[in-house]
Amino acid sequence: MKYVGVDIGTTRTKAVVYDAERRRVTAEAARPTPVEHTGDGPVRDAAAVVRTVADAVAEAVRDLDGPPPAAVSLASLSEEIVLVGADGSPLLPVLTWYNPLGREYADHPAGPGADALPADADPSFSVFTLRWLAEHRPRQLKETERVTGLAGFVAGQLAGHRPGELTMDWSHASRTGWFDVPTGTWITPAVEWAGAHGGVLPRLVRPGTAVGALAADVSERCGLPAGIPVVSAGHDHFCGAYGCGIRQPGESFVSAGTSEAHLILTDTPPVPDPAGPRTDIGRFVDGELFYVHRNLPSGHLYQHWLRLLGLTDQDRLHELMAAGPPGSDGVRCLITSDGPPSADFLHVGIGTDRITLMRALSEGLAMASREVSRSLRAATGRRPTRSVAAGVPTRQPLWRELRAATTAGELLTVDQPESAALGAALLAQRALTGRADSPVRRHPVPAPEADKAAAYQRLIASYDRLLRSEAS
């Protein structure tokens, strides 16, 4: 059988077709994920996202041979929420997960219900966006029939659901701030703190659940048969982990893209250290395991500095950076990810050029990644012997060299660029057959040669001293 997996990402929406008989992806397509820049910052038209998904799917399945796909499955970014009116339409544009509106409420939440919020909740969680909407768009919130995530809204549109039939899976719910991870239930006081009431929340389902059947009025645009199951797969980074075969407690995964997600799986709900760095816990997309997770804005920072420095030829840039020595001629870059992301450069001299700055940024991101991995190991009590990495940046030799030098244990990469969409397709396979393939090959990344390895150890020691100095 064939299965269509869709990944609604921050910048691109990807669709792939997984052929279980051939055990590989046989077709794929992509479209830009709609975003508009308004007075309220970056927002999305949820209806436009639905059309984008349908068009990406239609392109991916256009030239398929043999029987049509048996199901379509959705992975998506999690934190973006849709206020749905009584007629099933969005009442407002959707604030993107990186829109700063609402983050002010994350610093010191107060008032009735604030103690029900997850400890040290990520500022991007939906609960803070909803609080902003309650205070600045009260009329639309009053008219809201259901609040659901972007993936839940798209799934509902594909399945022709009425507002009362909308769903959200545990994986997406874990990023709302009003979901109790250990019990898999809604935290009503938390959503009430945000200014809504429990009646607006959608029905909870396990990740990888068929939530409806493809409606006839959208099936033609999708190029798929009406009536095939529509599956809610889960959060995109975690679907990516599943697609890459991360399915056992203790396994570690890095999904590198616009943001860089780090996770370790565990079979019991981890308890984050209140005195340690902010970490997120949630339900994994298999519906059985839990994860501990932290996010780095690596891609955002990297692209920001490319624009600032006017660097457009990235292939040449990567070549020049890789030719430089470890240590970037003494320039250091400290990454801040709690709060607005920033890259602070130290020891920049008169002769420092743009290539050296970008190499220092790459080294700083690798060191920040190392610290994130440390915090996840502390939260789970596990020390993975290997880590699997996926995403476009992993194709670059310098990225692999830096991460192999700074990763505890063995580092492996995969050659499946759309791992989240593949993971969604495999979760559809699991929903229909009770099992899922693990078709992705992993490639060990060799450690740097002895001279470079020694230079990187000195670089790590240098950053450790800087971090201790910052902490004191």
- Do 105 and 6 belong to one domain? yes
Structure tokens at 34: 């709609």
Residue 263, in any domain of the structure: yes
* Euclidean distance between CA atoms 59 and 55, whole angstroms: 6
| Inside any domain, residue 303 | yes
pLDDT digit string, tens, across residues 190-208: 999 999 998 999 999 999 9
In a domain, 200, yes or no: yes
24 lies in a domain?
yes
Asked if residue 111 and residue 55 are part of one domain, the reply reads yes
Query: Do 228 and 292 belong together in one domain?
Result: no
Domain presence at residue 431 = no
pLDDT higher than 90, residue 278: no
Q: For residue 26, is pLDDT > 90?
A: yes
Residues 306-313 have a mean pLDDT of 94
**Same structural domain for residues 255 and 188?**
no
Q: Which of 194, 210, 237 is the last residue of a domain?
A: 237
Looking at 192, 218, 237, the residue that finishes a domain is 237
Of 213, 237, 261, the position where a domain reaches its end is 237
Residue span of the structural domain in which 137 resides: 2-237
Q: What pLDDT shows up at residue 284?
A: 96
Q: 211 and 264 in one domain?
A: no
∠ CA(188), CA(166), CA(285), 5° rounding?
Answer: 80
pLDDT above 90 covers what percent of the chain?
A: 74
**380 Cβ contact list (under 8 Å, min separation 6):** 250, 264, 266, 270, 292
Residue 21 lies in a domain: yes
Q: Does a structural domain hold residue 423?
A: no
Residues 41 and 80 in one domain: yes
pLDDT at 230: 98
Same domain, 252 and 232: no
SS3 466: helix
Residues 86 and 215 in one domain: yes
Q: Is 311 found in the same domain as 233?
A: no
Task: Give per-residue pLDDT as tens, 79-124.
Answer: 999 999 999 999 999 999 989 999 889 888 888 888 888 877 888 8
Q: Is residue 471 part of a domain?
A: yes
Q: What is the pLDDT of residue 110?
A: 83
Q: Tell me the pTM.
A: 0.88
What is the structure's pLDDT at 471? 65
Q: Are 86 and 210 members of one domain?
A: yes
Q: Are residues 358 and 377 in the same domain?
A: yes
- Using a 10 angstrom Cβ sphere, with 0-12 exposed, 13-18 middle and 19 or more buried, the burial of residue 3 is buried
User: How many domains does one find in the chain?
Assistant: 2
Same domain, 254 and 226: no
Looking up residue 69, the CATH number of its domain turns out to be 3.30.420.40
Reported as a pLDDT band with limits 50, 70 and 90, residue 429 is very high
